[in-house]
Amino acid sequence: MKSRNLDQKKITIKGRCKIIETSNSDKCVIKEKEKDLRSLHDYLKTRQFHNFPEIISEDEDNYIFDYIKSVKVPINQKASDMANLLALLHNKTAYFKPITADYIKEIYENIESNIIDTELYYNELFERIKGEVIMSPSNYLLIRNSSKLIANFEFLKRELNKWFKMMTDKTKERVVYCHNNLGIDHCLSNTEDYFISWEKYTIDSPVLDLIKLFKNDYNKYDFSNFFDIYNQRFPLSEEEKKLFFLLISIPSKITFVNYEYDNTVRVNELLVYIYKTEKLIRPYYSP
């Protein structure tokens, strides 16, 4: 390491990082290099965003980060704090880039292909289940709620066409620095709030961070409150909002296994996800 001699007293493995405690009770975090985080930090500091662990040393393969002790906060309060922090990141790094009609069409076709492929998967699954003499609990649960999925695919196709019409004359798109790996576990609370695990950061629509966060955290806290706070601090345009609602409403494909208990859990998780998504977006579609 370049600037710190680690007198290691204790090493704790947590996910993909090592937490090192030294003989004088200092702590630091070692993570393998995946991207140039120094350049990212330098840029964010120029934008007056400092809410990330400082790099205190490095070698060819690893970064050593300052250790941030997280204070336990009620989860909905922490989600509110995270909404403010994400809005701050997006506000500080937002700019517009030119786009073309071909770029918009490519996005449309990719989403359309995803919707059609997922719809076909579930339609074939429903037909197979209907032919069963005795249904398994997971299949029975799924077929009982098949009308909800069918209606959801009709909603998706309508909304995609509406989004495409909204984007027809657009010549620019708002982009931000996206963390691109967000979950509430990647937000630490201390005297300030911090985002950790920036290895997947990218420059993209702010919708990207919201999609990743919702899919990771939809069942952990009141996401509607999170989204309200975020949208107050960093208002999404109508086309950004519609794209976000559209993309989170595409259900994932259930991967069935040999254990019926696990299959029933997975079907239930799918239905919970659909319910939570409807709960989030319904107020924005109400008269």
In a domain, 183, yes or no: yes
24 located within any domain: yes
Residue pair 195/51 in contact (Cβ under 8 Å)? The answer is: yes
Given a contact cutoff of 8 angstroms between Cβ atoms, the answer to whether 195 and 179 are in contact is yes
Residue 131: domain span? 91-285
Other CB atoms within 10 A of residue 80 CB: 19
The pLDDT of residue 104 is 97
pLDDT at 287: 67
- pLDDT at residue 11, rounded to an integer: 78
Tell me, yes or no, whether 200 and 161 share the same domain.
Answer: yes
Task: Please report, in tens digits, the pLDDT of each residue of the chain (287 residues total).
Answer: 344 555 666 778 777 788 888 766 688 899 999 899 999 999 999 999 999 999 999 988 999 999 998 899 999 999 999 999 999 999 999 999 999 999 999 999 999 999 999 999 999 999 999 999 899 999 999 999 999 999 999 999 999 999 999 999 999 999 999 999 999 999 999 889 999 999 999 999 999 999 999 999 999 999 999 999 999 999 999 999 999 999 999 999 999 999 999 999 999 999 999 999 999 999 998 76
Residue 82 lies in a domain: no
The pLDDT of residue 3: 45
Last residue of a domain, one of 53, 68, 83: 68
- pTM score: 0.92
**Same domain flag for 49 and 122:** no
How many domains does the chain divide into? Answer: 2
Site of tokens 């393998």: 32
Task: Measure the CA–CA gap between 176 and 184, rounded to whole angstroms.
Answer: 20
- Asked, for residue 234, whether it belongs to a domain, the answer is yes
Residue 75, domain member (yes or no): no
Give the sheet arrangement for strand 202-204, strand by strand. Answer: 95-98, 172-178, 202-204
Helix 75-93 to helix 207-217 angle, to the nearest 10 degrees? 160
Q: What is the spatial distance between Cα 44 and Cα 36, in angstroms, rounded to a whole number?
A: 13
Compute the chain's Rg from CA coordinates.
Answer: 22
Question: Which domain CATH number covers 46?
Answer: 3.30.200.20
Task: Please check whether residues 64 and 96 belong to one and the same domain.
Answer: no
> Is residue 58 one of the residues assigned to a domain?
yes
Is there a single domain that holds both residue 131 and residue 249?
Answer: yes
Question: Is 34 found in the same domain as 125?
Answer: no
Q: Is 31 exposed, middle or buried (0-12, 13-18, 19+ CB in 10 A)?
A: buried
Pairing status of strand 95-98 against strand 55-58: unpaired
